[in-house]
Every structure is written in structure tokens, then in C-alpha cells.
Structure 1
């Protein structure tokens, strides 16, 4: 069992490195994640009695986690796997995608190793009536102050009992998310979680209609997530300067 499990994990690590290169060409990211996988391989195998059965799921989930961290930079994504299961989450009743149309500023997110977007992040949502989805264009600055942009769509998942949406952005696998709170006029709070046996990876975003929102409006997002059992202490603020968006447009 020990030798088989160790061999399986090493194969998974090699497969992981190959898959990672398909969604992120940055050498430092490949080295960082390869180190994390090596740490897993070198851990006592007694901790992984089911490893031969779940290792394929591990590779798939980690690919989703890091590709989302690379591609969703639109709002930031946690690239850390955590022990535990995803909470039971639903979107608000009667969510109206059309009312989400317009400009949103990214104020809070769970931190990430990804640096696609660093500051001045904002998105424009356009509702496509015929198709019934939101078209998303997200712009911002990277760590070098250069303007960057990504596009994608957000749509309802058919027959979802809990109002899940599917987010499909450039350079990332599709992920499910939930709008756990919004008043449409000032703030929206979104949450996503990917799960496999015993572990999860989660993302959360607070977006507002203003780049300098009132604290109480953002606090509504924290409250909605706390009610679901999500640790909102992980939230970090995204810098939004008064000159952010004119600068961003010049850089594109």
C-alpha cells in the first residue's frame, strides 16, 4: 500500500506540473505549486489511506483551483486547499440577473497568489436578453501598474436547486458560484467553493457600485457570509484609488 500510494502521488505530481503549464506559463507559479505537491508526497502516508482512490480527484481539483486563481484574477481567488467541506449555500431568492447589469468595483476578496489583477479592479456586466446571461468585462492593473483585462460570461445553471450560477472567464475552467446577498443598487456578495473528499477551496468577493463605498454596505456582505459559516476574516481589501479607472483605460 505504501509503495503504491507513493508512486501514485509522484505520477500525480508529474501530471499536475504538465496540466499547470496549460493554464499558467509563469515559472514561479509552477515551482510554488510543485513544492506544495512534493510536500504532500513526503508527508506520512498513514495520513492518506484512500490516496489511490482520490488522487485523480486531487489533481483535477488543484488544476481548477490554480487555473481559477490565474484566470479569475477578475476578483481574486484563494489557491489554498483547506480541510473541510463546502457549506450549504444558495443564491438569494428570485435573483434577477438583469438588475446586476452595469459597473461594479471590486472591494474585497479572499487573497491569492495570482497577480493578474492587483489594484483598480472593476467589471462591467451586460445582460444579453436573447441568451439570458451576463457578459463580463473586467479591467484593472497588475503589480507592475500595467492595464489588463479579461472577459467572460455568467449564467444560471439549469435545474440548480440552490440558484447556482456558472462563471466562465478567459483562461479558466467554469466554476459554480452563488450571489448570497445583493440589493442591486449598491453591493453584491458572491461565493464559490470546490470540494473533494475531506478538502475544499473557496472564493468570495464583495463588489459595489462605487469605488469608495460606505462601510455599512460592505458589512452586509460579511454578515451574509458569516451566516453561512464562511470565515470572513480572510477578506482583504483591493486598492481603489480616485484615479484608478482613468489610468486603467489608458493602459489598455
Structure 2
């Protein structure tokens, strides 16, 4: 990882004067990462479930631009991450990654995603049920690549939580002005199945909260039976999510089929109207004692009114 950073930042330093010409990422800037304080007792199981991205730092290497929805699943010290949304062309995009505990940094996760170097994932603040303020930053040789996100459990949250995250980030030396709003709403792919998605996420949260209460805050179970129960619970949650995805895809197929049928009916109606116009034209000319000349179809409507 360090060698990869060295190559990246060495190249950046060599070409900074010609940044525009060589396409250096816009998110790269001078300075050090913020020294944020993280709760070492974060409960990653309670962090599981669905989060919606309300604000984040733009990143041209991330294809998802709108309707970002991420499902987190914590099991056996590994967090699986599945993000869905729309790219800049409005096409559906899905990204998979995993996160694991960061050695020597309690409460910090490390992101492992294909095609990018490992990066820290720091949950600056969260109440698990409403909001999460997240920060990730890498620095080397006077440069930094800093990112931040504001997540909420609902795509239409109480904006007080967004303001709270911005304030908490500012207190920790993170610039909230670097973030931009992420479009969420009724025209997003998840909209039709939102109640079911939220019910699924709330179920994941409820089970995690119940487990926490049973074993006591901050304790970690080593009991094989409890671990197996947790595995089964996560597997069931993943199956539920898979079924929801299938229902969404089936609904989209039905919608496309319905639209195609409506378009076909509209074309038939247009054709019937054209035939009626031709018939009326002929009748009109007969009543006027005019010859029944044949006009090109493009002139049919005009002929009718002559």
C-alpha cells in the first residue's frame, strides 16, 4: 500500500505545475488529513443496514452520481458493502467492496475495493438510527485526498441530521463546504420498493440492537453457537435483500412491457386516424364533384382542408 501511495504521489508531485494538462484528480490538494477522534467502541453490527448518501465530496473515479443507496452487512469482522445508484448518464450502477478492522486503530475500518488502493473509513459520528458522518483521507508528501459523506437512514430525512453532521465535521477540522448534495427522490430506482427496503433495514438494526443488549455494550462474543446464529441472521437478511432486488427488477420489466404495449396502441390509433382522414378526404372531394386524385400521405391532412 505504501509503495502504491509513493508511486501515486510521486507522479503527482512531478506534474503539479502541469496539473490541468495531465488530468490530476480534482480532489487532490495540498495539506494534511484532519486528525479526527473516533469512538473506539463503535458497534459495526448496528451500523449495518441501508444508508442513503445525502452529501459527499465529488470523486470522478466513482461512477455513481445520483440516488446512491448502500447496504452494509457486518459478519465475523468483515463488512460487505453494496452500493447502487445512477451514473452521470442515468444508467444503473452497482459497486461491491469489503471493509475490515484497521490494525492498531480501534473503531476504524479499511476499505478494500477493486482497482483502488486501500483507504481508511472513519465514522466521525453516528446514532446508528438516523445519521452517520464519515471521513476518509490519505496523505503523502504534502498532498492529501480527502473525502467525506453524510449518510441518513431515509432518502428524505430530517435535514437537522445533515446540519448536525456538517457541524460535527467542522469541529474535527473537516471542511463541510467541500461536499455537494446527492440527488435522491421519487424518480430513483429504489422509490417503488422503498417501504420494503426500509423495513428490511430496520429489521437488521433491530436484531443488532437486541444482540448488543444481550451481550452487553462493548463486549464481543466468542461463543460458537452465537456466532452461528449471527451468520444465519446475516444470511437471512441477505436473502431478503436479494428477493427485494428480484421484485424491483420484475417490476421494471413489467413497466417496460406496459410502456411498449401503450406505444403499440398509440401507433395503431394514429394509423386509424390517418385512414379516417383519407376516407373523409375522398368523401369531401366526391361531394364537391372533384376528381379523386391520389396525394402523397404527407399531404393527406392538407388535402382534406382544401
Question: TM-score, normalised on structure 2?
Answer: 0.55
Residue 240 (structure 1) aligned with residue 217 (structure 2) = no
Identify the residue that residue 160 of structure 1 maps to in structure 2. 105
- The alignment's C-alpha RMSD in Å is 3.1
Query: Which structure has the higher relative contact order (CA within 8 Å, separation 6+)?
Result: 1
Residue 210 (structure 1) aligned with residue 157 (structure 2) = no
- Aligned residue among 41, 44, 51 for 1:104: 51
Residue 149 (structure 1) aligned with residue 94 (structure 2) = yes
CA 1:134/1:39 → structure 2, altered by over 3 Å: closer, same or farther?
A: closer
| Cα distance in 1 for residues equivalent to 2:176 and 2:168 | 10
Identify the residue that residue 66 of structure 2 maps to in structure 1. 119
Higher helix share: 2
Greater shift in the superposed pair: 221-230 or 166-175:
166-175
1:158 deviates by 2.0
Q: Which has the larger radius of gyration?
A: 2
Please tell me whether the aligned partners of residues 72 and 81 of structure 2 are also in contact (alpha carbons under 8 angstroms): yes
| Cα distance in 1 for residues equivalent to 2:80 and 2:175 | 29
State the aligned residue count.
187
| Cα distance in 1 for residues equivalent to 2:89 and 2:29 | 30
User: Helix, strand or coil: the match of 2:189?
Assistant: helix
Question: TM-score, normalised on structure 1?
Answer: 0.66
User: Helix, strand or coil: the match of 1:155?
Assistant: strand
1:45-194 map, 5 Å: 79-114=26-61, 116-128=63-75, 131-160=76-105, 163-194=107-138
Structure 1 portions without partners, runs of 5+: 1-11, 17-32, 43-61, 67-78
| Cα distance in 2 for residues equivalent to 1:100 and 1:126 | 8
Structure 2 portions without partners, runs of 5+: 1-6, 192-244, 254-306
User: Helix, strand or coil: the match of 1:218?
Assistant: helix
Please tell me whether the aligned partners of residues 192 and 202 of structure 1 are also in contact (alpha carbons under 8 angstroms): yes
Identify the residue that residue 173 of structure 2 maps to in structure 1. 229
1:238 deviates by 0.4
1:92 deviates by 2.3
Higher strand share: 1
| Cα distance in 2 for residues equivalent to 1:93 and 1:219 | 24
1:37 deviates by 6.5
User: Helix, strand or coil: the match of 1:245?
Assistant: coil
